[in-house]
Amino acid sequence: MTDTGTEPDSTATSGSDAIGSPTGQDLTTVSSSAAGAESTEQDPPAAAGVDAGAESTEQDLPASGDDGADFGAQFRRQRTALLVIGAIGILLIGFAVGVLARIPLDRNAEPDPSAVDTGFSQDMSAHHAQAVDMAGVALIGSTDNDVRRLAYDILTTQQAQLGRLQGWLQLWGKSMQDVDGYMGWMTEPAGGGHDHVGGPAGRPMSGPMPTMPGMATNAEMTALRQATGPALDTMFLQLMLRHHQGGMSMIRYAAEHAETTAVRSLASTMETTQRGEAQLMTTMLTSRGASPLPLT
């Protein structure tokens, strides 16, 4: 055991000695007490994500008995709480990024946001919100590491993008949702009129839609929350793949027709990311002997 009261300063501050010595891990820990240092090393930081928090908590669970059941229920509540807290933090960060992203637009005197900018931000916010919900269910309920890793990536990425979209709507003085329906902003002059494009499965639209392509129904979301094991994994992959495919027409339209650079750039990023995730989910479904759901 190292006598910290008599150790020379040169030994405590030498990076190479600390790393090379068997007790280097103790010497490099900056803490007011040894007990505090051990507690800090064992507890994962909150910013590292829900996954790390959950794994840390699982180590304390009893193996069996009534007390084990109580602790198991407490663990599930704690893991859900960590997920909610993490999601809120990501949303706030995304919102702040959206606010800061508006500053360069103001300086460069870019055009005001058009109906495409506003409509895309409103509708994609709702689209992303369901994807975050589905990813949260899979992250908590799945025991497949590949599925949980994908769910975590989708949850964090789309929650941050959701914050940016809502931050722009706040700056533009627009409501968070268009009460008249979805995708009415996807119009383009053609032959002196306005042809609506990008409806369900690529069919033309005659006006705002009551729902967006690829969205899961209430019954499907309920079934996903109740599923367990491989059935949960397969259902999540099928619903999320269809969800990605359904939102692609909106993403591509915004990337091409939005007025502001920020919206066009974000839409382009979404297209690249979600195309890669869709390919991954297709492969994962094939390996599980399952097929994608038809896009409605």
The DSSP 8-state label assigned to residue 48 in this structure reads G
* Contact between residue 160 and residue 90 where contact means Cβ atoms under 8 Å apart: yes
Whether 174 shows a pLDDT value over 60: the answer reads yes
Whether the per-residue pLDDT at 183 is higher than 60: the answer is yes
Phi and psi at residue 42, in whole multiples of 5°? -85, -30
Residues 6 or more apart in contact with residue 223 via CB below 8 angstroms: 235
- The neighbour count for residue 1, using CB atoms within 10 Å, is 5
Whether the per-residue pLDDT at 189 is higher than 60: the answer is no
- How many Å apart are CA 241 and CA 274, to the nearest integer? 9
**DSSP structural state of residue 59:** T
Residue 116: pLDDT over 80: yes
Task: Look over the chain and give the mean of its residue pLDDT values, rounded to a whole number.
Answer: 75
> In percent, how much of the chain has pLDDT > 90?
55
Which pLDDT belongs to residue 68?
52
Average pLDDT over residues 119-127: 98
Please give the C-alpha separations between residue 41 and each of 12, 28, 45, 47, 57, in angstroms, as whole numbers.
19, 12, 9, 15, 14
Distance in angstroms (rounded) separating the CA atoms of residues 133 and 129: 6
| 193 bridge partner residues | 190
Which pLDDT value is given to residue 296? 79
- Of residues 175 and 12, more confidently modeled: 175
Contacts for 291 with CB less than 8 Å, ≥ 6 apart: 285
At 207 the pLDDT is 76
Query: What is the spatial distance between Cα 236 and Cα 231, in angstroms, rounded to a whole number?
Result: 8
91 band by pLDDT with thresholds 50, 70 and 90: low
